Amino acid sequence: MKLAEHYGHKPTTELPMLFQRILSNCTLDFFRRQKVRQSHITNLGDFLDEGADSDFDLLETLHLGEDLRQTESAESATERAQILLVIEAAIQELPGRQREAFLMRYWEELDVAETASAMGCSVGSVKTHCSRAVAALSSALRAKGIRS
């Protein structure tokens, strides 16, 4: 489809080379996406309990419902609140563009194209900003002793 959409005007002698380049780029993009998805799953997987179900949501864990708050110990509630403050502070320490991309992608749940449009930059820039933000947050939280 990309070949027909973007290169239909090219001479037929150039089409095989262009097709190979498009195929190569799509394959690389696929594996890059898989790597990013697996790294996010790996990072967030640290928060999973061994017996947790497959519908795990980190935000639901951090923002417990009223029923769970009644059974939660004061120590656990305080620890959770302190961890949230550390996470918020770490996000605030990110460079502006990284923080903007991170919050749009993972907090507001915009896709890469929507984030790029909102930020006025390329899709690749959004991916780079998000990757760097996740790496910086991960190391900042590890340095503060937050592992799971």
* pLDDT tens string 43-62: 555 555 555 555 555 555 55
First to last CA, the chain: 44
Q: What is the pLDDT of residue 39?
A: 60
How sure is the predictor about 90, in pLDDT bands with cuts at 50, 70 and 90? confident
Q: How confident is the model at residue 128 (pLDDT cuts 50, 70, 90)?
A: very high
pTM, entire model: 0.49
Residue 20 pLDDT class (50, 70, 90 cuts): confident
Residue type, 93: E
Tell me the DSSP string of 12-75: TTTHHHHHHHHHHHHHHHHHHHHHHHHHHHHHHHTT--TT--TT--HHHHHS--HHHHHHS-HH
Q: Phi and psi (nearest 5°) for 93?
A: -80, -10
Tokens of 81: 């609140």
Helix (H) or strand (E) run with residue 137 in it: helix 123-143
Please give the radius of gyration of the chain, using alpha carbons only, rounded to the nearest integer.
21
CA–CA dist 64, 107 (Å, integer):
17
Q: How many CB atoms lie within 10 A of CB 136?
A: 18
Cα–Cα distance measured from residue 141 to residue 116, given in angstroms and rounded to the nearest whole number = 27
